[in-house]
Structure 1
């Protein structure tokens, strides 16, 4: 609890620095890009278009409202992979700054999550635009999307803190994680129905955190229903456990970062 309170006080004290780090990340990402932030709207739409043509026609999956089904899964998974991958490099990539001045080191991975959250916001707007085009109605249940974001941010922040810590001591983590995220994507029903995995592989969905978060958003968007207590408890516990483990791991090892970055 004390570590959590220290982190919260650090956010308050260094909120301006955190803001500048987030803005810097966004500017660097779209530097020399003609369309800039517009890509956060166009990219998921283009991906949705291609995969809708391929999977809804070629394989003829019986998924109602496939474009939004894919969109909901893709924006959630993309946020997770983008936030955690950027967090992974956050300490190593800021080694020169860490060596010169004192800055709470957790601000770096957290800033990566927050900058990715900006992209998620625009991707969500793009999904709403596609919903209007495809005739999927907006439901009141979508107002609970911020609750899902809270669960998701806890999870990605915790995982990001873990990855940032491991990366300092084991640089091959970056290569391994790229393989993990690729396998993770294919084992998550983003563009195919979960039933495709069958009963023998159904356990993969149970232990897959992203399946629960994606299903939560699809329930809000496609079914206009509020996920049940079990779904909320599951999503919260996954996020909370990862956040606490990530925070503990990061704080336990952060004093040694200076020796390895």
Structure 2
């Protein structure tokens, strides 16, 4: 009598990220575990989700706003600064957590088979959960200074979050696979995270970059295609632009980069390509995760 095996999976084989959607319960367990253990045995607990970005903001504001004088050159500079900081913080935490997710869960990876992509994706979700308190503070400050939300602006913010998480997931899958066999890959991750704040218009405006590269326009275009640059500018348009008066006739609008629509499309394409490359590299190294760990 023939046996129907259509409902069974071949052990050790999967369909990558698509398998995650078939195991939502496991994903929920990993997310709960990550959020529950993050601040375990900590006195302040979840308060650190507010303290860390607040300390970072104070340092950046003092150096760039007070010492460098951008506080006088950009109206509502604290909102401009913090809206960029929260976007980059989401990327840095998501990317960093995804990179170490396989190594951090080596006990599970070595004992049982389950889609390994569950770990980087759970790390991205956990980073997003810790991003929400920062976003709540940003929204509160914007409302206090008279911010009026718009559907286009809020849609842009959602697109910015999507770009950040997709870019972080693609890079996270790539380096998570490499990090299992080559632990020095994590050093490259730290370099990328360090550069992320300075290679996107968080501490300065895109117009300063345009003026510095006026004789090398192609370099400025590459700068504007960076998914983080696009995401930060989407956050600026969503939160900061609604707190400042529109520019006078004939003056450039500091909230909209040149050819911004094209930059959004190219940045989205880069995120898709990075997801494909990251998944391919991850699946290549996945075969020997248990042995390498």
State TM-score, norm by structure 2: 0.79
Partner residue in 2 for 1:214: 232
Contact 2:153 2:237 in 1 (8 A): no
Q: Confirm whether residue 91 of structure 1 aligns to residue 109 of structure 2.
A: no
Q: Deviations over 1:74-107 (max 9, x none)?
A: 1111111111111111112212211111111110
Structure 1 residue 8 displacement after superposition: 5.5
Q: Which has the higher helix share?
A: 1
Which residue of structure 1 aligns with residue 30 of structure 2? 21
- Count of residues in Structure 1 that have an aligned counterpart in Structure 2: 257
Give distance in 2, aligned partners of 1:7 and 1:174.
Answer: 23
Q: CA deviation at 1:187?
A: 2.8
Moved more, 82-91 or 33-42: 33-42
The residue aligned with 2:42 is 33
Deviates more, 1:171-180 or 1:71-80: 171-180
Secondary structure (helix, strand or coil) at the match of 2:86 reads helix
Equivalent pair of 2:225/2:263 in contact (CA under 8 Å) = no
Q: Which structure 1 segments of 5+ residues have no match?
A: none
1:119 maps to which residue?
A: 130
Could you tell me how far 1:192 is from its partner in structure 2? 1.8
**Are 1:100 and 2:132 counterparts?**
no
Listed as ranges, the gaps of 5+ residues in structure 2 are: 1-13, 243-254
Secondary structure of the corresponding residue to residue 6 of structure 1: coil
Contact 1:87 1:113 in 2 (8 A): yes
- Structure 1 counterpart of 2:188: 176
Do structure 1's residue 237 and structure 2's residue 269 form an aligned pair? Answer: yes
Aligned equivalent of 1:43: 52
SS at 1:202 equivalent:
helix
**Separation in structure 1 between the aligned mates of residue 15 and residue 192 of structure 2, nearest angstrom:** 32
Distance in 2, Cα, partners of 1:245 & 1:154: 12
Q: Which shows bigger deviation, 100-109 or 49-58?
A: 49-58
1 CA distance for matches of 2:44 and 2:152? 32
User: TM-score normalized by structure 1?
Assistant: 0.87
Max Rg structure: 2
SS at match of 2:128: helix
> Deviations 1:41-91 (Å, cap 9, x if unpaired)?
343234323432332222111112111111111111111111111111111
Secondary structure of the equivalent of 1:223? Answer: helix
Query: What CA deviation, in whole Å up to 9, does each residue of 1:203-243 have, x standing for no partner?
Result: 56235331121112212222359996424313321221111
Distance apart, 1:149 and its partner CA: 2.1
Note the aligned Cα RMSD (angstroms). Answer: 2.4
